[in-house]
Amino acid sequence: MTTAEERTDGLERAFGPLEDPANPFGTEALLAADAAGEVLSEAEQVLDRAQFNAEFVPADVGGRLERMDELGRLLRPVFRRDASLGFGYGLNCFFATTPVWTAGDAVQRKHAARLLLGGQRVAVARHEVAHGNDFVRDEFTARTVPGGLVVDGSKSAIANASRATGLVLFTRMRDAARGRSHSVLLLDREDLPADRVEDLGRRATTGMRSAEFGGLRITDCTVPLSTVLGEVGDGYELSLRSSLLIRGLIPSIVLAGAETALRTVARFAHRTRADGRSSLDVQHVRDVLTGSFLDLLLIDCLALVATRALHLLPRQMSAYAAAAAYLAPKLVAESMDEMATVLGEETFTQDGAYGMFQKQRRDLPVTSLGHAGSAGRQVSILPQLPYFARHSWFTQAEPPPGLFRPHEPLPPLDLARPALLGDGDPLAATLVACTGLLQAADGPGAQEPGGLALRHLARALTGELADLKKAFEQVRPGDRDALSSPYSFGLADRYTLVLAGAAALGVWREQRRAPEDRADPFLAAPAWATAVLYRLVRRLGLPLPDRPAVCERLALDEALARLHHRRSYDLYRSPLA
């Protein structure tokens, strides 16, 4: 079987250059499909030939899913082009089937695998708590009867509602005990009486216009108890467990679309005008391109840590997945706004390369919400921080170096192991360790551009962690009022920035330690890490050293080199079509 890296490169080549007007999967074709509200059928055929759905099926039931970091990379060639294609074709099926992979019995897992491996789709209808970004508030209910359940109700916004053979329904139990209010069912539409299931039609969306969000009504339909995933009443816990798997993929999704946007803007800025000059002569333009590139590198550091932690730190990864899914869309949204100022009036173009920028900007809010918005991710983080403050920060050991090494093997993926609440925060220990390492007179990178500034910036982030420790030590265990205050939400936001800095420092340190054939010279040098941390410390409002202008210039040089040599704007520098 081919490796995940080979399959990723194969997808990129199969789709071809976006800017080629003769490419049937290029910008013009994708924008035409988006305007028509239709997924490009030829692009779906590319994914069919690649058996793309197999990437979302665990290897133990016949699929290819073995590593979550590899799955994140495999999504990027698709989402660079069209979020509707990536979400509608396969990723939404993964969102739908995560409860099956985590809690289904052998029969249920094999059935879901057969559907996906056979080219079918599986849709999910979530309940209100886990799906706070629903277009409308409606739901499915179930009541117990001898030998089964009777399902009733409707949802107005289900991705792939009419195209899916499999249905995963989060249903509210009418006769449930407190705390066991929801159950999850795996249904096959072909097994349901046709007169009990009704498609309610499609809903228009501003973003991801080619993806189908449709309604579904089920009326007094009796299903066997064998359709229940886990036990009756497990729905809320299964929703939370599913989010542990889904959230780590969000950075890769938003990064891929932002890559295309940045490449569009960089190409625009680099072109020579009639007067012989270019937009790159303007400092603001250079700053925007540099900052956007640095943010993408930071987002990929978060993606790397969040996905590899599922394998290496299943008892601690909850906060990392939530932080990655919370921070990455925020950074990309701000970056998109800044890039729009470079394009000026071209931002409003509906066709060509600049139309693609506008499309990526429209799609971002839909792709980044997933099954819970940013507030839900903060709520996942907050209850863990008082425990970390008392028992983990400045005392716990570091995580294994493999957390930051993208090419290092990982333990097998066990989707049942991740814990809903972490029992420690080893990533914060990496920040403390790297800060100590940098304080030495002969610390790594001290004589290179940005090395001394990096020492100051790491120390500032460690000081912020110390302040967070003091703040959360004051929160009494179980004090929900304190944790739900605006002040605590602000602290959680600051924590995600500190965590992002720790991830970037970990990646940089391990690049310096890597064998020459595994290290990227750009990532092994301190310049990019210094420029990234400078932006983080500035966001936190902490005292700053002098602006690392040399580091920023080196980052811009790298971004432009990747534009000319057709390389990706992430940690992998992958070849592009």
Numbered ranges of CATH 1.10.540.10 in the chain:
4-120
Read off the DSSP letter of residue 400: P
pLDDT of residue 351: 66
Nearest residue to 327 (alpha-carbon basis) of 255, 261, 259, 235: 255
pLDDT of residue 135: 38
Which one is the CATH code of 4-120: 1.10.540.10, 3.40.50.300, 3.30.870.10, 2.60.40.60? 1.10.540.10
Regions of the chain with pLDDT less than 50? 129-137, 370-371
CB 124 within 8 A of CB 138: no
The CATH class of the 123-231 domain is: mainly beta
Length of the chain: 577
pLDDT of residue 369: 63
The 3-state DSSP class for residue 244 equals helix
Superfamily for the 241-407+417-565 domain: Butyryl-CoA Dehydrogenase, subunit A, domain 3 (1.20.140.10)
pLDDT of residue 39: 87
Packed helices 352-369 and 250-270: angle between N→C axes, nearest 10 degrees = 160
pLDDT of residue 131: 42
Residue type, 506: G
The 3-state DSSP class for residue 215 equals strand
pLDDT of residue 138: 79
Cα(30)–Cα(27) distance, integer angstroms: 5
Numbered ranges of CATH 1.20.140.10 in the chain:
241-407+417-565
pLDDT of residue 520: 95
Q: What is the DSSP string of 37-60?
A: T---HHHHHHHHHTTGGGGGSBGG
The token pair at 63 is 């699929």
Numbered ranges of CATH 2.40.110.10 in the chain:
123-231
Q: What is the DSSP string of 451-519?
A: HHHHHHHHHHHHHHHHHHHHHHHTSPTT-HHHHTSHHHHHHHHHHHHHHHHHHHHHHHHHHHHS-TTT-
Nearest residue to 47 (alpha-carbon basis) of 20, 15, 16, 17: 15
CA atoms in the 13 A half-sphere facing the CB of 152: 8
pLDDT of residue 134: 44
Packed helices 92-103 and 235-246: angle between N→C axes, nearest 10 degrees = 120
Cα(329)–Cα(302) distance, integer angstroms: 12
CB 254 within 8 A of CB 330: no
pLDDT of residue 128: 55
Cα(85)–Cα(89) distance, integer angstroms: 6
pLDDT of residue 347: 62
Task: Find all residues with CB under 8 Å of 165, minimum gap 6, and list them.
Answer: 115, 120, 121, 122, 188, 189, 190
